[in-house]
Chain A
Amino acid sequence: KQEVTQIPAALSVPEGENLVLNCSFTDSAIYNLQWFRQDPGKGLTSLLLIQSSQREQTSGRLNASLDKSSGRSTLYIAASQPGDSATYLCAVIKGFQKLVFGTGTRLLVSP
């Protein structure tokens, strides 16, 4: 059974710091990996989708990498801002678009 773990569970940083969120998964036979953010009381917003043939994806200040062989993905956020405060979720996609979600990292960026 696929298990997805995110470390740390919570992170508090001052504005301007660069930070890394980690995601690990037990079964490397995945199609894709997707990173989301979730604001309180809201749904999930897709940030980046990395296909299994890719090693990384970038969007603005966000960069996500994928190492299938080691079962790891990282989300790098450059020059963090208070508006980045949210819960970040990674999800692996294994067969027919079936998402298995990680436990989430709650990020707080203080001004």
Chain B
Amino acid sequence: DAGVIQSPRHEVTEMGQEVTLRCKPISGHNSLFWYRQTMMRGLELLIYFNNNVPIDDSGMPEDRFSAKMPNASFSTLKIQPSEPRDSAVYFCASSSEQNQPQHFGDGTRLSIL
């Protein structure tokens, strides 16, 4: 079975550019999560969706960040405009229901110059 698929694996871009990260959850999973990992703050939940609906976006750091889930098999996390402090590894995860484990993708390593 295919796991959670994220793209791109690496992204290097200049400050001010728009960045779009993509995620395909495991088929049949109805919850999707976006996380950010940095050395300073560890792993933090940014936003999560249940049945394609955003449930909690309190972890989204600023209005420059937005996330969408247009259907059950695809989600995007967008940063516009990007800043150097957004540099981090961004993970997407999915799960099937409340008492089931979350499964993570391999992440997108984002570097903003």
Interface residues of A (CB under 8 A from B): 31-32, 34, 36, 41-46, 49, 51, 89, 91, 96-104
A77 to chain B, nearest CB (A): 18
Q: Is chain B's binding surface mostly helix, strand, loop or mixed?
A: strand
Contact partners of B45 in chain A: CB under 8 A: 98-100
Listed A/B pairs (23) with beta-carbon separation below 8 Å:
A31-B98, A31-B99, A42-B106, A43-B91, A43-B106, A44-B91, A45-B104, A46-B101, A49-B99, A89-B43, A96-B48, A96-B50, A96-B55, A97-B33, A97-B48, A98-B45, A98-B48, A98-B56, A99-B45, A99-B102, A100-B45, A101-B43, A104-B42
**Is B103 engaged at the interface, CB distance under 8 Å to the other chain?**
yes
What is the minimal beta-carbon distance from B24 to any residue of chain A, in angstroms? 14
Say whether A49 contacts B101, CB under 8 Å. yes
> Contact at B107–A97, with CB atoms within 8 Å?
no
Contacting residues, chain A, for B31 (C-beta < 8 A): 97
Binary flags per residue of B14-41, CB closer than 8 Å to A gives 1, else 0: 0000000000000000010100000000
Contacts of A31 in B (CB 8 A): 98-99
List the A side residues contacting B43 at CB < 8 Å. Answer: 89, 91, 99, 101
- The CB with the most chain A CB atoms within 10 A, among B4, B31, B93, B102, is that of B102
Chain A interface mostly helix, strand, loop or mixed? strand
Count A-B pairs with CB separation below 8 Å: 54
Interface hits, B57-113 → A, CB 8 Å: 91, 93, 95, 98-107, 109
A96 with B102: CB separation less than 8 A: no
A42's nearest neighbour on chain B, judged by CB, is B106
Closest Cβ of chain A: how far from B63's Cβ, in Å? 22
**Contact partner of B105 among A43, A49, A91, CB < 8 A?**
A43
A46, B56: Cβ atoms closer than 8 Å: no
User: Which residues of A have CB within 8 Å of B56?
Assistant: 96, 98
Q: Find the B residue at minimum CB distance from A34.
A: B101
Beyond A46-B103, A49-B101, A100-B45, 12 additional contacts (C-beta under 8 Å) are A32-B99, A34-B102, A36-B104, A43-B4, A43-B91, A45-B104, A46-B101, A49-B99, A51-B99, A99-B43, A101-B42, A101-B43
